[in-house]
Structure 1
């Protein structure tokens, strides 16, 4: 048991890269599903991907020097474009389209999905913000 666990850890350190992407399915407007060669599979909501977009965007509120994206609970995915053989650009219905999601970034997001979402919700609560969009006056 110990030797196989050690071998797995050693393998990660030797290669230092996430496993190869084997499947990507776009389920517009709600989610993206990815699978990797190590058997990992992740399903990401549009909201989660929008909040953790790898691009800096003008629709972010700066609260005490911290950049916070809020009000994206109902954001949708309109489409996606391949970027080389390493990622995709996702176009959201709030017109955000500058983030490039690499396969490595998808693996990172999936491996840390629950802690990232908890952190996001905690940050919103700290700043008295909501996942829901602001009502128009």
Structure 2
């Protein structure tokens, strides 16, 4: 058809390797790309409604996830995986395009996550909130 634009097919994972000691999941895709996704990154960017909310601006900042591990990784049909994390979170379904996005945009996602933690006065470790500063005092709390 003239004028129709077809997008490139989404790369499909061909291998998953979980490294508990280094806390990363290696994902190799059929286009040759391989990403090492830290468990923490996967957990704080879970595609679940619990983390993402139900629309723009409803995201919940995840804190204290630095030492989260991967307890299980289950297939969901032929299009996704569902991880279970050591903190009990198991409601995110990571589609192939979402996993690829996490890998290809990892640096920017980390930077954004660390900035949001800092802005909220939180650290990456559980119970390690940062001391109140002029920047965080009088901030905007969530109910």
Higher relative contact order, structure no. (Cα contacts within 8 Å, ≥ 6 residues apart): 1
Question: Would the aligned equivalents of 1:28 and 1:78 in 2 still touch at CA under 8 Å?
Answer: no
Q: Distance in 1 between matches of 2:59 and 2:118?
A: 13
Question: Would the aligned equivalents of 1:54 and 1:99 in 2 still touch at CA under 8 Å?
Answer: yes
Q: Distance in 1 between matches of 2:24 and 2:114?
A: 19
Q: TM-score, normalization: structure 2? A: 0.74
Q: CA RMSD in A?
A: 2.2
Offset at 1:102? 1.1
Q: Which runs of 5+ in 2 are unaligned?
A: 129-143
- For 1:27, the equivalent position in structure 2 comes to 19
Q: Which runs of 5+ in 1 are unaligned?
A: 1-12
Structure with greater proportional helix content: 1
- For 1:124, the equivalent position in structure 2 comes to 117
Q: Distance in 2 between matches of 1:114 and 1:98?
A: 24
Structure with greater proportional strand content: 1
CA 28–84 in structure 1, closer or farther in 2 if over 3 Å, else same: farther
Q: 2:6 matched to 1:14?
A: yes
